Amino acid sequence: MKRLNKAIAEAGITSRRKADNLIKSGRVKVNGVVVKELGTLVTSKDDIEVSGVLIEKQLKKYFLLNKPRRIISAVKDDRRRKTVIDLIDPEDRDVRLFPVGRLDYQSTGLIIITNDGELANKLAHPSREVEKEYRVVINQIINKKTLLTLNKGVIIDENFLAIAKKIRFIKHDNDKKQTTLEMVITEGRNHQVRKVIKAIGGEVVDLMRIRYDFLTTKSLAFGKYRELKPHEIKKLMR
């Protein structure tokens, strides 16, 4: 048995907290009966309706995708641009898949695709402090003083102190006047790496997520994906 809000979250409908609001507002039925009591327990045999729609008892799917440039990290795009879901083979899209987190249009690298709302909520929760590692190419030569500033943290979004968990210098390209760094962050702010670089007067030339928690891009070409292994899923859910 499991709590009703968890069953709704696992179906990818919404988060547990928002599921509680749906329950309290009378928009959830169990076996045809409206349930408003939080903490209600259900089993796999129960039929659950949310806003009149029956939750499908779906097989959970988990994929790791290496996103190329000019791909949208969304289920669909109103401008009809290609999305990460479009990169998944049709036979693997027999459930409602969605990306966990985002990578902007020009960024590349790892993103998890699943239909497991509970996992998505766990990975997104600030308390988890899930590490995301990026390789970033900047349009300027970064000196030691600027690198120290980055390590101490910079203000973005007017009043947020963004401090990377780790920043590692990789190389200078004096001909192109560029610097390559590797940066590990745990916050999930929108365009955070780009904003951090902008705060020191630079601009990102190339941005690639090379690690998501313990998962890496090893043997995974751009535009390709693989199914996560059971032990990897278990580790992500820990």
Task: Report the distance separating Cα 158 and Cα 141, nearest Å.
Answer: 26
Which one is catalytic: 77, 92, 104, 206?
104
* Contact status, residue 167 vs residue 182, Cβ threshold 8 Å: yes
The per-residue pLDDT for range 55-80, each reduced to its tens digit, is 876 688 999 999 999 999 999 999 99
Task: Report the distance separating Cα 16 and Cα 56, nearest Å.
Answer: 17
Confidence (pTM): 0.79
- As a whole number, mean pLDDT of residues 27-39 equals 95
Task: Report the distance separating Cα 195 and Cα 198, nearest Å.
Answer: 5
Given this model, what pLDDT does residue 187 score? 87
For the chain, the average pLDDT equals 93
Whether 104 is catalytic is: yes
As a whole-number percent, the residues of the chain with pLDDT over 90 amount to: 79
- As a whole number, mean pLDDT of residues 3-32 equals 90
Give the model's confidence band at 2: pLDDT under 50 very low, under 70 low, under 90 confident, else very high.
confident
Give the model's confidence band at 14: pLDDT under 50 very low, under 70 low, under 90 confident, else very high.
confident
Reported in sequence order, the residue ranges of the chain that DSSP labels E, i.e. its strands, are: 2-3, 28-30, 33-34, 41-42, 48-50, 53-54, 62-67, 98-100, 108-114, 132-138, 154-156, 160-162, 166-173, 178-185, 204-212, 215-216, 225-227
* Contact status, residue 234 vs residue 116, Cβ threshold 8 Å: no
Residue 189 pLDDT > 90: no
For 46, counting Cβ atoms within 10 Å of its Cβ (0-12 exposed, 13-18 middle, 19+ buried), the class is middle
* Contact status, residue 121 vs residue 160, Cβ threshold 8 Å: no
Task: Report the distance separating Cα 188 and Cα 219, nearest Å.
Answer: 26
- As a whole number, mean pLDDT of residues 116-136 equals 91
- As a whole number, mean pLDDT of residues 9-19 equals 83
Give the model's confidence band at 1: pLDDT under 50 very low, under 70 low, under 90 confident, else very high.
confident
Residue 211 pLDDT > 90: yes
Contacts of 189 (CB under 8 A, 6+ apart): 156, 157, 160, 162, 195
**Which single residue is written with the structure tokens 């390209």?**
173
Q: How many Cβ atoms are within 10 Å of 152's Cβ, its own excluded?
A: 10
Residue 158 pLDDT > 90: no
- As a whole number, mean pLDDT of residues 140-166 equals 94
As a whole-number percent, the residues of the chain with pLDDT over 70 amount to: 99
Q: How many Cβ atoms are within 10 Å of 168's Cβ, its own excluded?
A: 13
Q: Within a 13 Å sphere around the CA of 158, how many CA atoms are in the beta-carbon half?
A: 0
Q: Which domains does the chain have, with CATH numbers?
A: 2-54 (3.10.290.10), 62-127+217-236 (3.30.70.580), 131-212 (3.30.2350.10)
The per-residue pLDDT for range 69-113, each reduced to its tens digit, is 999 999 999 999 999 999 999 999 988 899 998 999 999 999 999
Looking at this protein, which amino acid is placed at residue 86? D
